Amino acid sequence: MSGATAEPPAALPAKRPRLPEWFRLKLPVADAFIATRNLLDDLKLHTVCESAKCPNQWECWSKGTATFMIAGDRCTRACGFCAVSTAKPFALEADEPSRVAEATRRMKLKHVVITAVARDDLADGGAAHFRQTIEAVRAANPGIAIEVLVPDFLDKDFAIDEVLAAEPHIFNHNLETVRRLTPSVRSRATYDRSLSVLAKVKARRGPTIHTKSGLMLGLGETEEELLQAMRDLRAAQCDILTLGQYLQPTHQHLPVIEFIPPAKFAEHKRTAEAMGFVHVASGPLVRSSYHADEFSQIAS
């Protein structure tokens, strides 16, 4: 044998870690799931449930709920956590607001969540399209609670005011992660810009609107960084907070650094409530619009 040292074997592609046992859920089977699927196909609507590979799709659709994603399914940003396609968007569809309204009417929703891809190609970021959709939904469903989950609109005042003019009940914009990780997690977004958007909404509408934001855990944030992000949201007068576990949608996206156990999420919920958030949803499977109607039920 020669005395040469053998070269180490080539590294294999990293495998996504196994999901902890608390993610192993029984998929519900209900006629409502098929009905929701057929309705969305019939009206040619997109949902964040599908586009973002949400783990709660089966549960929500089986309960006859969905989060509508307007302005197409192509995003102008390429965030490291998000499964929504990044590509040059198509033109806005003028009849999409009426189709969303018809869907909410058929589904007999009492609370609807409307979100959108980032449309940095549009001068207003798609704000007018949000307004038209909100107004169409309200006209078709008087009394419905309307929640919007919006991009940052590059913090343009006129775009924020355009959405607020339609008077949504809940204005949600996600901070997503802590300050240190923002550059590697979010595309073309900044930590302070997101806080500014939330603060402006509250400054303009005060107690007549609830503001909401969400954070993903398990991306490598420290506990102190998380607590600081929560304090920063409260300083912006954010009312509602969601905390959920980040899950890597594909191998091309950011890896999961840590799986946070349910007990820790429960602890974070108590801490957030003590900070003054009026409603906190915190758990491994929590997403921005997961059981979103629960706050409406509490507030009514």
- What is the per-residue pLDDT across 286-296, written as a single tens digit (0 to 9) for each? 987 766 666 65
The answer to whether residue 7 sits within a structural domain is no
| Predicted local confidence at residue 35, as pLDDT | 77
| Predicted local confidence at residue 54, as pLDDT | 53
| Cross-sheet strand order for the sheet of 111-116 | 46-47, 67-70, 111-116, 145-149, 170-172, 210-217, 240-245, 279-282
Q: How confident is the model at residue 215 (pLDDT cuts 50, 70, 90)?
A: very high
The answer to whether residue 17 sits within a structural domain is no
Tally the domains of the chain. Answer: 1
The pTM (predicted TM-score) of the whole model is 0.87
Contact by Cβ (8 Å): 228, 237: no
The answer to whether residue 230 sits within a structural domain is yes
Dump pLDDT digits (tens) for 121-132. Answer: 999 999 999 999
Q: What single-letter amino acid sits at 107?
A: M
Dump pLDDT digits (tens) for 235-249. Answer: 999 999 999 999 998
The answer to whether residue 107 sits within a structural domain is yes
Average pLDDT over residues 177-191: 97
Query: How many angstroms separate the CA atoms of 249 and 76, rounded?
Result: 18
User: DSSP label at 167?
Assistant: -
The residue range of the domain holding 93 is 26-299
| Predicted local confidence at residue 51, as pLDDT | 45
The least confident of 18-32, 176-190, 221-235 is: 18-32
Secondary structure of 223-247 in the HEC alphabet?
A: HHHHHHHHHHHHHCCCCEEEEEECC
- Percentage with pLDDT > 70 across the chain: 81
- Percentage with pLDDT > 90 across the chain: 66
Indicate whether 42 pLDDT > 50.
yes
Contact by Cβ (8 Å): 173, 213: yes
Indicate whether 56 pLDDT > 70.
no
Indicate whether 60 pLDDT > 70.
no
| Predicted local confidence at residue 1, as pLDDT | 39
| Predicted local confidence at residue 30, as pLDDT | 60
Indicate whether 284 pLDDT > 50.
yes
CATH number at residue 149: 3.20.20.70
Dump pLDDT digits (tens) for 193-203. Answer: 999 999 999 99
Average pLDDT, the chain: 86
Rounding to the nearest 10 degrees, give the CA dihedral for residues 211, 216, 222, 224. 10
The answer to whether residue 1 sits within a structural domain is no
Cα separation values, 20 from 26, 51, 259, 285, 290, Å: 14, 24, 8, 12, 20
Dump pLDDT digits (tens) for 87-119. Answer: 999 999 999 999 999 999 988 888 899 999 999
The least confident of 11-15, 76-80, 115-119, 263-267 is: 11-15
The answer to whether residue 116 sits within a structural domain is yes
The answer to whether residue 6 sits within a structural domain is no
Backbone angles phi, psi at 167, to 5 degrees: 60, 55
The answer to whether residue 213 sits within a structural domain is yes
| Predicted local confidence at residue 13, as pLDDT | 43
Average pLDDT over residues 259-288: 95
